Structure 1
Amino acid sequence: MLRMSLGVILAGGLSLVAATSADANTDAAARLLVPHRAIYDLKLKNASERSGIEGMFGRMVYEFTGSACTGFSTNFRLVTKISTGEETRLSDQQTTTFEDMAANQFHFETKSFTDEQLDKQLSGDASIVDKGIKVEITQPDGREIELPSSDFPTSHMLDVIANAKQGKSFFEARVFDGSENGDQALLTTTVIGKSQSAQKDDVDADKAGEFAKSSFWPVTIAYFNENAVGDPTPVYNMSFKLYENGITRDLTMDYGDFVLSGSLAKLELLKPQQDPCPAPAK
């Protein structure tokens, strides 16, 4: 069953007491998320002949800041060098987002470069409304789109952590993150393994610093197009090891025709912003 967004649940008639309790639980979980900057080294794990890719490597930088009260910001940059045997090209994707969980609003901006030349720019805003979410694209063209009820990325991550802590191994959700052309939400299925600790052969556990010995959950999320028919194939799958504080490592990104692996190379904890919100009632 697809998880409905908070806005739609409230529209469905939950009592004020129940809504306040749900908000308090979400706020308490959000306070556990740690502001951080993570750098991942990427390399090609495998590629089909159809992909035309003979070699690929790169680096991904992910920065997560903010608080439950002020909202959460992400800065993401993915740089890869791709070899087809006949040519080599440099791909650079830069994305920033801001998610205001209290106001149910989400802002996104993406710039994509090929060989240092800008070839795509996208920006817009999304908000939860009574019947779903409303998306306002500001670049490259001004337009409005209405989509079914969806989670924004940080809210979805909190759902993953909540399900993991409850021992649930599978759940579904619809997620909007402003990717591609910013005009569609993706259906997701999430598989969560049992909590475990790093083993001696764990590829990047030593880069997790003070969290190296903390327990984590192995997670795999598959993303599907909304309008897929029959037995749909995921647009892509992402597997990773997830800590309760939102930090991830040991990534595998499966795009169908090729697969990338990402090892945590450096983790930097950032100074938390002052949170003006009062602590949730116990």
Structure 2
Amino acid sequence: MFRAARGAAVFFCLALALPCSVEAGTIAPHRALYDLSLASARASGGVVGVQGRMLFEWGDACDGWTVQQRYRMRLSQAQDDEVEIVSSLASWESKDGMRYRFALKKKRGDEPEEEVRGSARLDGPGRGGRARFVRPEESKLDLPRGTVFPSTHTIEVIRRAEAKEHFFGRRVFDGSEVEAPVDVSAFIGPAKPAGGDGVKPAAGEAGKTRNLADRPGWKVRLAFFPSASKDPLPDYEIGLVLLDNGVSSDMLIDYGDFTVRARLKELEPVRGGC
């Protein structure tokens, strides 16, 4: 979102020729609102407070999955003034996982707004491809073999969790930077029985929201490593409860020096475009 515009977006069956129990109909298009706060911090890190909100929407556009993610976060540091970080990410990914479009805008404090926008295509399942960026102007990037896009990755996490697998790695490209895909290691922990988490529904959506939240899931931890990095430690990690319909419950985003909690506050279904 700071890097996690990258992280929270990188949740989302295709890469292996294995049976896939997660079909398009089982993913629930939804809109989720999270409160952001500081969970923990090292004294040497300098971060003393975090406040903000994140809105995440996963939609079904018939021919593809759409993701909208917006957040505004105020970061307090011991030796400096507060810094406000604002980010907006919009993406579309074809349901066969081969095509991807993305647009990201981000701003930190008084720095000029950054914009990353473009598209990517893979040559086939398990094969490489190429990303083209409109901004930065006419940049290109080769995508290595085994690259997947975010929605495909999240669906694969669910599929492997249902198969009682506990660990796998995947190379994920989300378009948030003109950089090679990140290596994401997924650790799938204990299953969580169905049962709502007391999430507040949007007005008039109480029953539908209960149906969204009242699903089984798993504790998942995702570790993000820059491509070709020799550092044994990840750049950052995300821990969450991932339900079998694609809804993510409370998250912990661990940057090493400090950890941000994203607590799910509101949840509502989103109508598909079909």
TM-score, scaled to structure 2: 0.83
Per-residue CA deviation, residues 176-211 of structure 1 (Å, 9 max, x unaligned), is 1112x2321011111112322278xxxx81106334
* Distance in 2 (alpha carbons) for counterparts of 1:185 and 1:49: 32
**1:70–1:212 Cα change, 3 Å:** closer
Secondary structure at the counterpart of residue 182 of structure 1: coil
Aligned-residue offset at 1:45: 1.0
Whether the 8 Å contact between 2:14 and 2:152 is mirrored in structure 1 is no
Residue 197 of structure 2 is matched in structure 1 by 205
Deviation at 1:133, TM superposition (A): 2.0
Residue 234 of structure 1: aligned partner: 234
In structure 1, the gaps of 5 or more residues are: 10-18, 275-282
Give the residue type in structure 2 aligned to 1:133: G
Alignment of 1:1-282 (within 5 A): 29-67=23-61, 69-85=62-78, 86-102=80-96, 104-115=98-109, 118-129=112-123, 131-149=127-145, 150-179=147-176, 181-197=177-193, 205-207=197-199, 209-229=210-230, 231-274=231-274
**Inter-CA distance 116–26: structure 2 relative to 1 (3 Å threshold):** farther
Matching residue's letter, 1:188: V
1:241-265 alpha-carbon deviations (Å, 9 max, x no partner): 1111100111010112211011110
| 1:52 to partner: Cα distance | 2.2
CA distance in 2, matches of 1:224, 1:122: 21
CA distance in structure 2 between the partners assigned to 1:51 and 1:97 by the alignment: 33
Q: Which AA in structure 2 matches 1:263?
A: R
Instruction: Tell me the distance in 1 between the aligned counterparts of 2:219 and 2:166.
Output: 10
- Contact 2:193-2:216 at 8 Å conserved across structures: yes
Label 1:141 to 1:27 Cα distance change in 2 as closer, same or farther (>3 A): farther
Calculate the TM-score normalised by the size of structure 1: 0.81
Stretches of structure 2 that go unaligned for 5 or more consecutive residues are: 1-12, 200-208
Distance 1:226 1:77 in 2: 26
Distance in structure 2 (CA, Å) of the matches to 1:197 and 1:219: 14
Deviation at 1:49, TM superposition (A): 3.5
Instruction: Give the drift of 1:272.
Output: 2.3
Change (3 A) 1:216 1:76: same
Mean alpha-carbon deviation: is it higher for 240-249 or for 50-59?
A: 50-59
- Confirm or deny: 8 A CA contact 1:198 1:205 kept in the other structure: no
| Residue number in structure 1 paired with 2:206 | none
Structure 1 CA distance for aligned equivalents of residues 65 and 110 of structure 2: 29
The code of the aligned residue for 1:40 comes to: Y
Q: Deviations along 1:105-137, whole A, 9 cap, x unmatched?
A: 111111112347642111111110265120101
Q: 1:35 to 1:212 in 2, by over 3 A?
A: closer
Distance across 1 between alignment mates of 2:247 and 2:113 = 31
Q: How many residues align?
A: 249
**Residue pair 2:68, 2:91 contacting (<8 A) in 1 also:** yes
Contact 1:177-1:185 within 8 A present in 2 as well: yes
SS at match of 1:160: helix
Distance in 1 of aligned mates of 2:217 and 2:14: 27
Q: 1:109 to 1:26 in 2, by over 3 A?
A: farther
Match of 2:37, SS state, is strand
Greater shift in the superposed pair: 113-122 or 84-93: 113-122
Q: Any conservation in 1 of the 2:143–2:181 contact (CA below 8 Å)?
A: yes
Per-residue Cα deviation, 1:78-123 (whole angstroms, up to 9, x for no partner) = 2101111331121101111110133711111111123476421111
